[in-house]
Chains A and B, each alone.
Chain A
Amino acid sequence: DTAVSQTPKYLVTQMGNDKSIKCEQNLGHDTMYWYKQDSKKFLKIMFSYNNKELIINETVPNRFSPKSPDKAHLNLHINSLELGDSAVYFCASSQGAGGQETQYFGPGTRLLVL
């Protein structure tokens, strides 16, 4: 069984569109994250979400908004897509928000904005 899953796996869209990426974890974890991996493979935290507390990386544009309907899901909504949003987006989860907790990653969603 997949521990952290994301849909879709690939997403190709036009500039200006609004899109969503879904993430689900079946590990029973209570903390979830979104990371962005750029074309040079550099990974950067975008959000972390724990017990309804959302922590936003200050460099993330407000066009990006995470939404968590329940503990097992953290979806990513992106408004007014731009060319620079093209990247691979990874969802992750951990048991607790402590620094020592291992984060488990989903397979990634490859977003291409044309």
Chain B
Amino acid sequence: AQSVAQPEDQVNVAEGNPLTVKCTYSVSGNPYLFWYVQYPNRGLQFLLKYITGDNLVKGSYGFEAEFNKSQTSFHLKKPSALVSDSALYFCAVRGLGGGADGLTFGKGTHLIIQP
């Protein structure tokens, strides 16, 4: 069975500082990895995904994530945080099978950017 761990319930960062939201995964075979963001009372917005190739993936709103196979991690990063980045972030994994399993999500990390 596949699983995702987001070890931090909350991450606090000062505006303008770099941010990292951690994610580790467990899946049989090569993973497909995703990051989504959820603003209050809104749906999930896709940020970026890793399928294959370059380990550094760039996505929406200046976010990027680094796939590390040996550490089974896919941490989300941004060089300079904005107050508007404050939201709930989800890491998700999907195995090669696709279809039935859907996305397996982590429990989410609240990102709070302080002015």
Contacts and interface: CB of A to CB of B under 8 A. Distances in A.
Interface stretch (A12-20, A71-79, A93-101): A93-101
Interface residues of B, number: 27
B105 interface: yes
Interface of B: 32, 34, 36, 38, 42-46, 49, 51, 88, 90, 94-105, 107-108
A78 to B, nearest CB: 19
Given A104-B46, A106-B43, A97 B105 contact: no
Contact of A43 (B42, B49, B90): B90
A91 B32 CA distance: 20
Contacts of A102: 34, 46, 49
9 contacts: A4-B43, A42-B105, A45-B101, A97-B99, A99-B96, A100-B49, A101-B98, A103-B34, A103-B103
Interface of A: 4, 31, 33, 35, 40-45, 48, 50, 55, 57, 90, 92, 96-108
Nearest to B30: A99
The 5 A-B residue pairs with the shortest CB-CB distance in the complex, in nearest-first order: A45-B102, A99-B98, A55-B100, A105-B44, A99-B94
Contacts, number: 72
A98 B99 CA distance: 6
Nearest to B51: A100
B101 to A, nearest CB: 7
Interface centre among B34, B43, B90 (most CB of A within 10 A): B43
